[in-house]
Amino acid sequence: MDKKDLRIVYMGTPEFAVESLRRLVEGGYNVVGVITMPDKPMGRHGSVLQPSVVKQYAVSQGLKVLQPEKLKDEAFLEELRALKADLQIVVAFRMLPEVVWNMPRLGTFNLHASLLPQYRGAAPINWAVMNGDTETGITTFFLKHEIDTGEIIDQVKVPIADTDNVEIVYDRLMKLGGDLVLKTVDAILDGTVKTIPQECLTQNVELRPAPKIFKETCRIDWRKGVKHVYDFVRGLSPYPAAWTELCAGEAAPVMLKLFETRKLFQTHDLQPGTVVSDGKTFFHIASTDGFVDVLSLQLAGKKRMQVEDFLRGYRLAEHMQVR
């Protein structure tokens, strides 16, 4: 079968999913429909509806778009069946019921931003950087009942530099994801796919999860070592951002987000979370085995700034702590 005859339904919502869809469209593949999340209410009263970036791209290309509230809704399922997809591709969407992923004759495959079976879950890129990994990657796999557990089709490994934050790794994986999606589709077309059950890769390996990240997930624990805090910060930078509370005497604590730091290993007898600064050029926070040198930060209600600008505009009190 020629790629122009293969009927593809694409499912995705965020920016990460746009690259693969764009590559399919520009590559001349036959995308007969795009499934994405319903438009999101925005503004003070929710009166403005914001379409996903995937929808925006799909509309610009004249592609048919479906936005179901519920994936088991019969009206949606009828529309999906009417598209007569041979293959479905999922990139950063939501968990599909079997009635959806089992519909096309060639199956449904997912592009996941980790080297499965590691980092199954919603935030694999963040957790790989937060955990200080030196390597990550992308995986295509066929869907089955349990989330992120289907048979692996292909993988690409990607190094993580010690200076990379999650945005850098995200952009790198997004571009490589487009390559891998096309490679996977071509292999399915050619009948050359050879899958590997994930169970073959889990023996004697400690699996690390990648659960959804919430506000409390992003709070820094200063009782951990310098490297842990450094990796934690870059794994959440620039979004949603690691945070702590800046405390001075009886004043109410102020939220402080950290975006860029540097590791300073040295012995000291200060309590973790103690602030050490000259008030002009540096802002160090004590951890158990040294200091975290803060380079870029944001006070609640203010914009992100370099530490020198922060120190010029914020008067530091004595005996300041973060917690």
Question: Residues forming the annotated binding site for (6S)-5,6,7,8-tetrahydrofolate?
Answer: 114-117
Nearest 5°: CA angle at 230, between 228 and 236? 100
CA atoms within 13 A on the CB side of 58: 28
Binding residues: 114-117
C-alpha of 129 from chain center: 11
User: Side chain identity at 236, as an amino acid letter?
Assistant: L
